[in-house]
C-alpha cells in the first residue's frame, strides 16, 4: 500500500479544518494608495463637478447633468450595471432675495432663504424684529411677537445641537403670530457668510418666510435690542415650491466573484444646496466613493462580494433618494453587508463608525470586535478609529430596517464654517486629502468585500 494513501485523508482534514491565514491586506492598501496619488482621479472629478456643473439642488438642471456625468464616469472606469434609479424629489427654488435693516441703522444684510421656505408677500415684508436666544425666550414673549419677525440668535454649540433652530424656528415663531423668522447661521465662524439648510413647517400654524442671517448681523441686532432700540427690517424673498421633479440615485457595481448577492455599499450624495459649488457637501464624498471603486477596478482586484457605488439624490431637502433606495431594494436589504456613507467633507478620514439599530448590546459588542479586525488593513493610513456610532442621513432609512450603516468621520476642522454657503467651493479642497481618502475607502471596502464579516 502506498504510504501516502494513508496520509491523504489526514492532509485533507487538516486543510479543511484549519483555514489558511488571511493574506496580509497591507500590500494591497499600499498599492491602492500609490495609484490614488499617481492619478488624483478624485480631485480631477471634483474640479469638473464644481467648475463645469456647479451647485446641484434637487430639481435643478445641474443635478440632472451631474447624474448623467457620474454614470459616464463610472462606465468609463469599467463598472457594470451602471444605472439611474428614478426618484421623485421636492423642487424648491430660491428666487430673488434681499434684506435691509431700516431702523435703527439703515444697512443692507446678507441673507440666504432656508430651503422649503415660502416667499414674502408681493413687494416684500416690512416688520419689527424681536431677538430671542432660545425657544424658552420665545415662549416667554409669546403673543408679544405677533406681527413681528423673530430672530433666533443662538450661538453655535455643535451642529446637531443648534440646527433645531434652523429647522423648527419658523414653525415655533408662527405659533405666536410672527410674520417672519430669521435664524443666526448654524456655524462656528463667519466672514459674513449666511448658511442655508432645510427647514420644516408645522401644519398647525401659518407658513411664514424664513431665512438665515450672518453671525455678524445677528449679534448686531441683539446688541441693538439690548440697548432698547427699535429694529425694523425689510425682507424680500421670491422662494417657492414647484411640483416634484424627476431625479435619480446613481448606482454602479463591481460584481462579487464568489458572493455577488452580498453587497458592500459605498456612497455619498450628489445633490447639494444651490449656493457655492457643493464641494465639501458632498462633492467630496461623491468623488471618493467613485474613485475608491475605480482604484479597485484599475488594479484588477476581484472582490468576492459585490462593491456597489450609490450616489444619492436629494439628501439636502427631503432624503427621498435614501427612502426610494430602501423601498426599491427591500428584498436585498438582508444581504447588505454594510452601507458606508461619506458626507462630512474633504479633510482626512479619521474614523469609521458602525450603526446597528436592531442589535442587542451583546450583538453590538461582537460586531465591534468584527469591525476592529479591519484595523490591520487600514494600518498604512495612520490611526483610523473603528467604533460604534452614527452612520449617515442617506443610509438611515435602510439602517432603520436593520442594515449595518457605517459613517465616515473626517477631520472636519473647517467643514461647518463652509458647508451650505457660497464659500463651499473647490479651492478649499486639498488634493492629497482626496487621494488619501479615496485609498482609505477603497482599502476598507475591499477588505469588507474579501471577508466573511457580518455585523448582524
Ligand atoms: Zn451633505
Look at residue 7 in the predicted model and tell me its pLDDT: 41
Look at residue 23 in the predicted model and tell me its pLDDT: 80
Look at residue 440 in the predicted model and tell me its pLDDT: 98
Could you say which residues of the chain have pLDDT below 70? Answer: 1-22
Measured in angstroms, how far is the CA atom of residue 315 from the centroid of ligand 1? Answer: 7
Measured in angstroms, how far is the CA atom of residue 285 from the centroid of ligand 1? Answer: 8
**Domain annotation for the chain: domains and CATH numbers:** 24-92+243-450 (3.40.630.10), 96-238 (3.50.30.30)
pTM (2 decimals)? 0.93
Measured in angstroms, how far is the CA atom of residue 346 from the centroid of ligand 1? Answer: 11
Look at residue 19 in the predicted model and tell me its pLDDT: 53
- 315 flagged as catalytic: yes
Q: What are phi and psi of 9, to 5 degrees?
A: -60, -35
Look at residue 247 in the predicted model and tell me its pLDDT: 98
Give CB contacts under 8 A, 24+ apart, made by 64-68: 64/247, 66/270, 66/271, 67/247, 67/248, 67/250, 67/270, 67/311, 67/313
* 35 in Cβ contact with 295 (< 8 Å): yes
Choosing from 97, 253, 291, 315, which is the catalytic residue?
A: 315
Measured in angstroms, how far is the CA atom of residue 122 from the centroid of ligand 1? Answer: 33
Look at residue 14 in the predicted model and tell me its pLDDT: 40
The C-alpha cell 463651499 sits at 424
Measured in angstroms, how far is the CA atom of residue 316 from the centroid of ligand 1? Answer: 6
Q: Tell me: the pLDDT tens digits for 115-135?
A: 999 999 999 999 999 999 999
Angular region, 228: left φ>0, alpha ψ -120 to 50, beta rest: left
Look at residue 183 in the predicted model and tell me its pLDDT: 98
Q: Tell me: the pLDDT tens digits for 403-454?
A: 999 999 999 899 999 999 999 999 999 999 999 999 999 999 999 999 999 9
Amino acid at each position: 500500500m502506498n504510504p501516502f494513501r494513508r496520509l491523504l485523508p489526514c492532509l485533507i482534514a487538516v486543510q479543511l479544518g484549519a483555514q489558511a491565514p488571511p493574506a496580509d491586506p497591507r500590500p494591497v492598501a499600499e498599492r491602492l494608495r500609490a495609484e490614488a496619488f499617481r492619478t488624483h482621479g478624485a480631485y480631477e472629478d471634483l474640479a469638473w463637478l464644481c467648475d463645469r456643473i456647479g451647485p446641484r439642488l434637487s430639481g435643478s438642471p445641474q443635478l440632472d447633468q451631474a447624474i448623467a456625468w457620474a454614470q459616464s464616469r463610472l462606465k468609463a472606469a469599467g463598472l457594470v450595471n451602471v444605472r439611474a434609479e428614478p426618484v421623485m424629489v421636492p423642487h424648491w427654488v430660491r428666487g430673488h432675495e434681499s434684506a435691509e435693516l431700516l431702523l435703527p441703522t439703515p444697512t443692507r444684510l446678507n441673507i440666504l432663504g432656508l430651503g422649503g421656505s415660502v416667499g414674502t408677500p408681493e413687494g416684500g415684508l416690512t416688520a419689527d424684529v424681536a431677538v430671542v436666544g432660545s425657544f424658552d425666550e420665545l415662549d416667554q414673549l409669546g403673543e408679544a411677537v405677533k406681527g413681528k419677525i423673530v430672530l433666533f440668535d443662538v450661538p453655535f454649540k455643535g451642529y446637531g445641537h443648534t440646527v433645531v433652530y434652523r429647522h423648527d424656528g419658523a414653525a415655533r415663531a408662527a405659533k405666536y403670530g410672527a410674520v417672519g423668522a430669521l435664524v443666526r447661521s448654524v456655524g462656528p465662524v463667519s466672514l459674513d457668510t449666511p448658511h442655508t439648510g432645510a427647514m420644516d413647517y408645522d401644519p398647525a400654524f401659518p407658513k411664514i418666510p424664513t431665512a438665515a442671517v450672518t453671525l455678524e448681523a445677528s449679534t448686531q441686532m441683539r446688541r441693538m435690542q439690548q440697548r432698547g432700540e427699535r429694529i425694523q427690517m425689510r425682507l424680500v424673498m421670491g422662494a417657492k415650491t414647484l411640483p416634484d421633479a424627476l431625479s435619480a440615485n446613481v448606482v454602479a457595481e463591481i460584481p462579487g466573484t464568489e458572493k455577488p448577492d452580498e453587497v458592500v455599499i459605498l456612497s455619498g450624495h450628489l445633490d447639494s444646496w444651490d449656493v457655492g459649488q457643493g464641494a465639501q457637501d458632498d462633492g467630496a464624498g461623491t468623488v471618493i466613493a467613485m474613485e475608491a471603486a475605480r482604484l479597485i477596478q484599475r488594479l484588477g482586484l476581484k472582490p468576492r462580494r459585490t462593491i456597489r457605488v450609490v450616489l444619492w439624490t436629494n439628501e439636502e431637502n427631503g432624503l427621498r433618494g435614501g427612502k426610494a433606495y430602501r423601498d426599491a431594494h427591500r428584498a436585498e436589504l438582508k444581504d447588505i453587508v454594510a452601507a458606508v456613507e461619506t458626507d462630512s467633507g474633504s479633510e482626512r478620514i479619521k474614523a469609521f463608525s458602525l450603526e446597528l439599530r436592531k442589535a442587542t448590546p451583546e450583538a453590538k459588542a461582537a460586531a465591534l470586535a468584527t469591525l476592529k479586525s479591519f484595523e490591520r488593513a487600514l494600518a498604512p493610513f495612520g490611526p483610523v478609529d473603528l467604533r460604534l456610532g452614527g452612520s449617515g442621513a442617506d443610509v438611515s432609512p435602510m439602517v432603520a430596517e436593520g442594515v449595518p450603516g457605517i459613517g465616515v468621520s473626517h477631520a472636519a476642522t473647517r467643514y461647518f464654517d463652509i458647508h451650505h454657503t457660497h464659500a463651499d467651493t473647490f479651492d478649499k479642497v486639498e488634493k492629497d486629502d482626496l487621494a488619501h481618502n479615496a485609498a482609505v475607502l477603497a482599502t476598507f471596502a475591499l477588505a469588507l468585500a474579501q471577508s466573511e464579516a457580518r455585523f448582524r
